[in-house]
Amino acid sequence: MHDQPIRKRTPGLAHDIVAELTRQILLGQLAPGEKLPSESVIVREQGVSRTVVREAISRLQASGFVETRHGIGTFVLERDERQGIHLSSATAASVRGILELRMGLETQAAALAAGRRTEEQLLQMRQALDDYQNALANNDGSVEHDLRFHKLIAQATGNTYFTDIICQLGRTAIPRTRINADERGDADLMQLGQMAVLEHEAILRAIRRQDPDAARAAMLLHLSNSLERMAL
């Protein structure tokens, strides 16, 4: 049996490995504390050189996804939401600030995702929304599924910086987790969730048909409506 031929080093090879490992970490397929496949295994499976693998691991380290322990291997790190971008207090003003940041960040992410997404990524987004709707119907926590959908859009851009920022925001990105009942007023979380379902579906449809302008507009509408719904 012949070994898989080594692909020549190009700027995209390391990026491809980073994107795949990042996806596995975000979706929990590689759990915190779990050891990554060895360098030689990745070389064999991906058909790349050791230099490419080392560059990819270095990028993951710089992004805070993994750490390498000399002589032992590379391990997935716990993503601590207290690190990086963090809201010190759950006030209406602080949540408004995060939503305004997301308007700039995620509208562009949605547009890029529309042009770059894969069929597999579409399926993962579809599953995240199905899980979100099921959680709403069963009155279970839907925040993680909501956040997973937005992370998958960031990951579909192919630009790990988008993913890094969304991961650093963590649950603080979801307004309903940050506003207490007094500040929220008469807003009903179940009703808010159902309204968000329609907006999420519009975002997914635009990404599916690879329409960057529509994806950007759908994401902007979703985040703008979040501001209005939370009476921020």
- For 6-32, what is each residue's pLDDT tens digit? 444 445 788 888 888 887 887 778 888
β partners of residue 66: 76
Contact 220, 103 (CB under 8 A): yes
Contact 18, 62 (CB under 8 A): no
- 152 φ, ψ (degrees, to nearest 5): -65, -35
The reported pLDDT for the residue numbered 219 is 96
Domains of the chain listed by start with CATH number: 11-76 (1.10.10.10), 92-229 (1.20.120.530)
Average pLDDT, the chain: 81
For the chain, strand residue ranges (E) read 66-69, 73-76
81 falls in which pLDDT band (50, 70, 90)? very low
The reported pLDDT for the residue numbered 79 is 64
Calpha distance 121→28 (Å, rounded): 15
CB neighbourhood size of 86 (10 A) = 12
β 66-69/73-76 pair status: antiparallel
